[in-house]
Homo-oligomer: A and B are copies of this chain.
Amino acid sequence: MEITPREMEHMNDNPLYNTIGIRIYEVKDGHARSRLRPNKDVCWPFNQPHGGILATLMDTTMAWSVLTRIERGYNCVTINLDIQYINTPKGDSFTCLARTTHRANRIAYTRADILDEKENLLATAQGVFRIIREML
């Protein structure tokens, strides 16, 4: 499905993203891009966003990349998420790029990277999602 700017605006305004500091800002054709400006509260113990926060960022951005490839009335849930933590996150703003590499029936395969402002690779991930009928 295509996600309209208004839908994205609406989707970005949720408690999880606001609590953490996530904003999705490009979702199209199996790709999604997001930005993390982590709230201080989720930067512990090293004054950097916690690894689980980076996992949240990658998981949600991957899910958006999947949503661009599925029909309205469906949603997706994560089956599996594999993360490699490569570099210590430094700075105030981080970009996550995710894409769906393949969709086979009700299973979607994805990848994601997190980069800092100097384009250093901080983390990479692979994720598998199951496509489900949305509960109304």
Binding site for B on A (CB under 8 A): 14-19, 39-45, 50-53, 55-60, 77-88, 101-102, 104, 107, 109, 111, 121, 124-126, 128, 130
Contact = CB atoms under 8 A, between A and B. Distances in A.
A133 B41 CA distance: 24
A88 to B, nearest CB: 8
Given A15-B41, A44-B16, A124-B109, A81 B83 contact: yes
Copies of this chain, tallied across the complex: 4
Contacts of A87: 102, 104
B85 A77 contact: yes
A51 B78 contact: yes
10 contacts: A16-B41, A17-B44, A18-B41, A50-B59, A51-B78, A52-B53, A55-B83, A77-B88, A84-B109, A86-B104
Q: Which of A39, A85, A121 has the most CB of B within 10 A?
A: A85
Contact of A44 (B14, B107, B125): B14
Ranked 9 nearest A-B pairs via Cβ: A52-B56, A82-B82, A55-B55, A16-B44, A15-B41, A19-B41, A80-B80, A81-B83, A86-B102
Contacts of A42: 15-16, 19
